[in-house]
Amino acid sequence: MNTAETQVKAVNKPAAKTKTKRKWKRWAIHLFPIPALIIYGLFIVYPILAAFTYSLFDWNGLVRGAFVGLENFKALFSLQPYKDLFWNAFQHNILYFVVQMIVQNGLAFVLAFIIYKKIKGAEFFKIAFFMPRLLSIIVVGFLWKLILNPNFGALNVILGKFGLENLQKAWLGDPDTALMAIILVNSWFGLGFAVLIFLAGIQSIPHELIEAATLDGAKGWKMMSKIIIPLMMPAITIITVLTFIQSFEAFELVYAMQGSQGEPYHSTDTLAIYFYRLAFGGTSGGGSSAIGLGSALAVVLFLFISVFTAILLYFMRKKEVEM
């Protein structure tokens, strides 16, 4: 609309041309987020907002019942078994986050650094680390169930070969190890992605900076803590925020490996699995859905994640600026 006008003016008054154009240019920048906003708003925000209102209704089964205000939220935190299930799952999510940070991201950082140091076959290693991420979660779940199988799985076979029979376990059937096994599989799955992000982070550090620091005599740990880590803060922020969100949304892998009941005996239950059970009922026809309660749980989960992500971002951004 404006372009035609601009053109006309441009022909008539060469002097005004630059001014209008600059105005247009300044205004045009606001068009940049529009396509993303439209698609995201229509297909994510709208359905989710609609679904959030479900949490205010008594809604068991398929037909919406009466408006109950905040009753569902109250039930979630005061009624049994909902109360216990919530805190049980919540603890599992926290463990999920902590282990992912240490194992997946810690290891990924080391590996990114190793690749950055231009070892031979760096290209191959990068691809190898990332390969698991290419698989569908269903396959990941099935393959690891085979590997962790207590009677013929590779892990127990290998332990047996090294004479470590007493370490052999029914990894996924034992409540003490099942959750940890799943988190580690998740780390295996997500490792390559974290490596890529860290690598992109290291690689975007201008080479001159590292050279200059080397000339100044920085090396080893000092180089790491004073130059590399601060300059990689954006990448670290991305990975931390992402790991946090994904840990508290952990669903697909748990579902693929242990089903929707958090088996065995609620030892692998996560908030998202619990949400799924509430909102959609059991998987094979047993149990009605409790959409009202499920939505309430989703709202709580959302509030929790968004508040903590905001705090996380605030502090990490501050670090980015400080450097």
Q: Which of residues 180-209 bind another protein (CB under 8 A)?
A: 188, 191-193, 196-197, 199-201, 203-204, 206-207
Binding status of residue 14 toward another protein by CB under 8 A: no
Rounded-to-integer distance, Cα 60 and Cα 79, Å: 16
Contact window for another protein (CB under 8 A) among 8-16, 92-100, 124-132, 159-167: 124-132
> Nearer Cβ to another protein, position 1 or 284?
284
Phi, psi of 167 (to 5 degrees): -90, -10
Binding status of residue 15 toward another protein by CB under 8 A: no
Binding status of residue 94 toward another protein by CB under 8 A: no
Contact window for another protein (CB under 8 A) among 9-17, 68-76, 89-97, 278-286: 278-286
81 prior amide bond cis, ω within 30: yes
DSSP 152: T
Contact window for another protein (CB under 8 A) among 7-15, 68-76, 87-95, 136-144: 136-144
Binding status of residue 102 toward another protein by CB under 8 A: no
Min dist. Cβ of residue 192 to another protein (A): 7
Among 14, 162, 166, 220, binds another protein (CB under 8 A): 220
Which residues is 60 bridged to in the sheet?
Answer: 290
Rounded-to-integer distance, Cα 191 and Cα 243, Å: 11
Among 65, 306, 311, 315, binds another protein (CB under 8 A): 306
Among 44, 70, 167, 311, binds another protein (CB under 8 A): 44
Min dist. Cβ of residue 200 to another protein (A): 4
Q: Which residue type occupies 237?
A: T
Contact window for another protein (CB under 8 A) among 8-16, 69-77, 91-99, 236-244: 236-244
Scanning residues 137 to 156, which ones bind another protein (CB under 8 A)?
137-140, 143-154
> From its phi and psi, is residue 136 left (phi > 0), alpha (psi between -120 and 50) or beta?
beta
Among 102, 119, 164, 311, binds another protein (CB under 8 A): 119
Residue 182: Cβ-neighbour burial (10 angstroms; 0-12, 13-18, 19+) = buried
Binding status of residue 312 toward another protein by CB under 8 A: no
Rounded-to-integer distance, Cα 297 and Cα 64, Å: 17
Helices (H), the chain: 2-12, 14-28, 34-40, 46-52, 71-78, 82-99, 107-116, 122-130, 137-147, 154-161, 178-203, 207-215, 220-223, 229-231, 233-248, 252-258, 271-280, 291-322
Over the Cα atoms of the chain, what is R_g? 26
Min dist. Cβ of residue 131 to another protein (A): 6
Instruction: Give the end-to-end CA distance of the chain in Å, rounded to a whole number.
Output: 45
The site that binds another protein (CB under 8 A) totals a number of residues, namely 135
Min dist. Cβ of residue 143 to another protein (A): 4
Contact window for another protein (CB under 8 A) among 6-14, 69-77, 86-94, 107-115: 107-115
Binding status of residue 20 toward another protein by CB under 8 A: no
Secondary structure percentages of the chain, helix, strand, coil, to 5: 75, 0, 25
Binding status of residue 10 toward another protein by CB under 8 A: no
Contact 104, 242 (CB under 8 A): no
